[in-house]
Amino acid sequence: MGFTLHAQEQYAKLEKNRNIQAQGLIHQLNKTSDTLILKSDKIIHSLYTINQNYTRELDIEIDSTAYKLPLNKLSIGKHVFVARQAPMKIIFVVRILKEIPTQLPESYRTKALVAIKQLNSSVEKENSARLVVD
């Protein structure tokens, strides 16, 4: 008897800041691990990342109490995140394990669609006959 186990693909891994002073900033990944979710009762002023090559990949002004960051903007590897909540800077790590696919919103996918017209059955038969012959 055999069985197959299908696990959800994990695109990223979060290493949370466990410091008691960082508890005010909720930082977590969504279920598919392709988006970082930040929430706080205080304003999150900005967020930036430093990658494994010691360069900044993202530098974002947030000025809100909640923010969602799609991780497909980041390269594969280790990223140190710095969330600025005056006067503190909360540091945590996100490791991008593999390339995260970019999905276009449905509004982009259907933008070119002008109208849908149902074909009559004779046209459908003619088209299917062409497909077989070609």
pLDDT digits (tens, 9 = 90+) for 14-50: 999 999 989 999 999 999 899 999 999 999 999 999 9
Using CA atoms, how far apart are residues 96 and 117, in angstroms rounded to an integer? 44
Report if pTM > 0.75: no
In a domain, 45, yes or no: yes
pLDDT digits (tens, 9 = 90+) for 55-108: 999 999 999 999 999 999 899 999 999 999 989 999 999 999 998 877 645 444
Q: Which of 87, 83, 91 is nearest to 44 (CA)?
A: 83
Per-residue pLDDT at 127 exceeds 60: no
CATH of the domain at 17: 2.60.40.3080
In a domain, 83, yes or no: yes
Q: How many folded domains does the chain comprise?
A: 1
In a domain, 77, yes or no: yes
In a domain, 7, yes or no: no
In a domain, 80, yes or no: yes
Token digits for 127?
Answer: 């088209």
- CB-based contacts of 20, cutoff 8 Å, min separation 6: none
Report pLDDT for 101. 78
For residues 70 and 37, is the Cβ–Cβ distance under 8 A? no
What residue numbers bound the domain in which 20 lies? 12-103
In a domain, 63, yes or no: yes
In a domain, 23, yes or no: yes
Q: How confident is the model at residue 132 (pLDDT cuts 50, 70, 90)?
A: very low
In a domain, 1, yes or no: no
